[in-house]
């Protein structure tokens, strides 16, 4: 369903983000917005109960293989 960029793969390992959390954020986000710095990208936000309700931000775009994930991180300032 999705492909991680090299950057995203490094960051999710460093930030202890499970790929299942990324899949959940992509399939059923709590909020989805265009990225203000790049209209070709989308930001999907999901509060992850298994991680203390913290909000995961996944930045992605469509690709020939489904969804290309540019990066993902815990968003401390997210308002859902």
Q: Convert the pLDDT of each residue in 8-55 to its tens digit.
A: 999 999 999 999 999 999 999 999 999 999 999 999 999 999 988 999
Q: Is the pLDDT of residue 80 over 80?
A: no
pTM metric for this prediction: 0.92
Q: How much is the pLDDT for 69?
A: 98
User: Could you give the C-alpha distances from 16 to 10, 19, 63, 64, 74, in angstroms and in order?
Assistant: 10, 10, 25, 27, 10
Domains parsed from the chain with CATH numbers:
2-74 (3.30.2310)
Q: How much is the pLDDT for 30?
A: 97
């Amino acid at each position: 369903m999705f492909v991680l960029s090299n950057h995203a793969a490094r960051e999710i390992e460093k930030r202890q983000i499970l790929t299942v959390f990324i899949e959940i954020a992509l399939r059923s986000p709590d909020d989805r917005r265009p990225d203000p710095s790049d209209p070709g990208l989308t930001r999907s936000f999901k509060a992850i109960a298994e991680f203390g309700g913290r909000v995961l931000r996944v930045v992605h775009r469509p690709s020939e293989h489904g969804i290309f994930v540019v990066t993902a991180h815990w968003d401390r300032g997210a308002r859902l």
